[in-house]
Amino acid sequence: MSSAINIVELQQVEKKYQGVSALNKLNLEIREGEVLGLFGHNGAGKTTTIKLILGLIGATSGQVKVFGEDPTQSEARNLRRKLGFLQENVSFYDQLTGLEVLQYFARLKGVSKKNCLSLLDQVGLSQAGKRRVKTYSKGMRQRLGLAQALLGEPKLLLLDEPTVGLDPIATQDFYRRIEQLKEQGCTVILCSHVLPGVEKYIDRALILGQGNLLAEGSINDLRHQADLPATFHLQGSGLALPDSLAAKATHDELGTRLDVPLTEKMSAMQQLVGLQGLENLDIHLPSLEDLYTHFIESHTGNGVSAIQEAAQ
């Protein structure tokens, strides 16, 4: 972690819409240079959290501080210049060119227009900058959205479903850009339903369910909280497992499977690598998806349908 400064602080934050609770006593601290993944199924409270941080809505109770200030205050104008926001399903004025869209948003944000060309270049749109947005593909619009969010070199970037519509290469490019921004000290909040591939780019994940905090921590923290096993798959002929492991073994189409508590992973590995006849050994640690399913299931008892719902 580059610094201990808190860029965002939420204390006991509650948000109710016409009496319906969207967020329930959420505590959250985000440090400078941190990339936080905000996850949860539909209606979990992710957009509400983002809107509170942006100052677009006020909390029903509790305290929201962004760069140490209340983001809803009218004097928070300077604070807003430090923020970049890419909303879900971004849409622009179709008749304007990509460059004109960026210049328009630069004026709205009160920042210089001189970096618009370079921003288009950074998101791979330099060739298309003079074309009208109506000719852009979904992925190109999304990249234009990212360029818009990066206007004015924000210190805090909030991205709601940023990789929707991006192909795998563009998604990788996007995450590389996030890494660069992080290296420059930018703090990033990333909301996504697309969990595979995200985990190596986030420092910490926060999982919300029906407005409640279900889990929070680094992937390693979450692995220990969830206490899900490490899974070994072994292939080979005539494998004679030590007694301590044989009792845990099952057999499937991939060979012999062993589910081992994370705390016993290293000792199991040491015993397995020396096995006679071993041809292949794979290890699977609980992924972000596994952890997400676990925490949602623990909360609702119905994780699979919640995730299917989230994917829609």
Ligand X SMILES: Nc1ncnc2c1ncn2[C@@H]1O[C@H](COP(=O)(O)OP(=O)(O)OP(=O)(O)O)[C@@H](O)[C@H]1O
Where does this chain bind ligand X (CB under 6 A)?
17-18, 20, 22, 40, 42-48
Question: In angstroms, what is the minimal distance from the CB of 272 to ligand X?
Answer: 41
Q: Could you give the CA distance from residue 128 to residue 142 in angstroms, rounded to a whole number?
A: 13
Specify the residue, 60 or 122, whose C-beta has the smaller distance to ligand X. Answer: 60
Least CB distance from residue 281 to ligand X, whole Å?
39
Closest CB 182 distance from ligand X, rounded Å: 23
The nearest distance, CB 191 to ligand X, in angstroms, is: 7
Q: Which is nearer to ligand X, 46 or 182 (CB)?
A: 46
Calculated CA dihedral for residues 260, 214, 310, 203, nearest 10 degrees: -70
Phi, psi of 97 (to 5 degrees): -80, 165
What is the C-alpha to C-alpha distance for residues 98 and 36, in angstroms, rounded to an integer?
29
Q: Tell me the residue type at 154.
A: P
Q: Which is nearer to ligand X, 44 or 116 (CB)?
A: 44
CB of 22 to ligand X, least distance (A): 3
- Taking the least distance from each CB to ligand X, the nearer of 4 and 20 is 20
CB-nearer residue toward ligand X: 164 or 269: 164
List the helix and strand counts (H, then E) for the chain. Answer: 11, 13
| Least distance to ligand X, CB of residue 130, Å | 34
Least distance (Å) between residue 15 CB and ligand X = 8
Name every residue whose Cβ is closer than 8 Å to that of residue 312 and which is 6 or more positions away in sequence: 42
**Would you say 116 or 158 has its CB closer to ligand X?**
158
Residue 101 burial class via C-beta count within 10 angstroms: exposed 0-12, middle 13-18, buried 19 and up: buried
For the packed helices 288-300 and 219-226, what is the interaxial angle rounded to 10 degrees? 50
With vertex at residue 99, the alpha carbon angle to CA 96 and CA 105, rounded to the nearest 5 degrees, is 80
Q: Which is nearer to ligand X, 22 or 79 (CB)?
A: 22
Q: What SS3 state is found at 23?
A: strand
d(CA 246, CA 269): 14
∠ CA 171-172-175 to the nearest 5 degrees? 90
Q: Contact 101/133 with Cβ under 8 angstroms?
A: yes
Query: How far apart are CB 297 and ligand X at their closest, in Å?
Result: 18
Nearer to ligand X, 38 or 226 (CB): 38
